[in-house]
Amino acid sequence: MNDPVLTDFNVAAIQMVSSPSVEDNLKQAGELIAQAADLGTKFACLPEYFCFMGTSDRQKFLIKERLGDGPIQDFLANMAAKHGIWIAGGTLPLDCPDPERVFNTSLVYDPDGRLASRYDKIHLFNFKRGTESYDESIAIRPGESVQAIQTPLGRVGLSVCYDLRFPELYRAMGQVDLILVPAAFTYTTGKAHWELLLRARAVENQCYVLAAAQGGHHENGRRTWGHSMLIDPWGEIIDVLPEGPGVVRGTIEAERLTQVRASLPALRHRVL
């Protein structure tokens, strides 16, 4: 097993209500990142599709970027370096071998603005009830690799939205201190399962979970659940924002991780 984080550090989940305008979204994200940094944040996470919520799945192709080249990636790198913090850039559409689809990718930048990790969303959302229908596979190609990154702050596992429903993904990360869940949960599924799933992932993996969500009514007619939150290893909610743009924050406490894992050593009791 890996050692817990050596020191406490502050984290923030950025909640947004993104629109079809990349320029407006980046402006909003920049303001919220600055707010989080001013509050002492060392690791900030943006929501899924922070840069773009279009009116159709295919519109993602209009803003897709190649890895290492594009205004959205430049923005994330510049924000990390400007504020001297770690930033997980929610997700953005990246080029993939399939010309008919893109990767839905989460990129992590270190405090010098260097790309530190990449995770392509593995599980693709598919839901249909009445007039509400979603199928991410229309425009997105699934990733293939589980990703966890060792940082000076601790070991961080990467996931995106619908991944939350698949506990085996998190087990495959090994022991982590913090799980990131940038998301754009629908109002319907979020109201039913969002908090339940987040708290379960925190409890079963005995780590903190930082979930950055889209939260509100979007110009494309979609409504997202919001409720960005930080949850501790015992499943307690430290902070939450129900709806609208804002910052959810709290502290990753090394002693709390150690205490929970020592009092109930479930991770050491694993058989499978």
Catalytic sites, residue numbers: 48, 121, 161
Instruction: Determine the Cα–Cα distance for residues 20 and 58; give it in Å rounded to an integer.
Output: 12
Residue located via tokens 């690791």: 43
- CA dihedral defined by 217, 219, 220, 225, rounded to 10 degrees? -20
Instruction: Determine the Cα–Cα distance for residues 139 and 68; give it in Å rounded to an integer.
Output: 21
Per-residue DSSP letter, 241: E
Instruction: Determine the Cα–Cα distance for residues 104 and 117; give it in Å rounded to an integer.
Output: 14
Q: What are the C-alpha distances in Å from 66 to residues 69, 93, 141, 155?
A: 5, 9, 15, 27
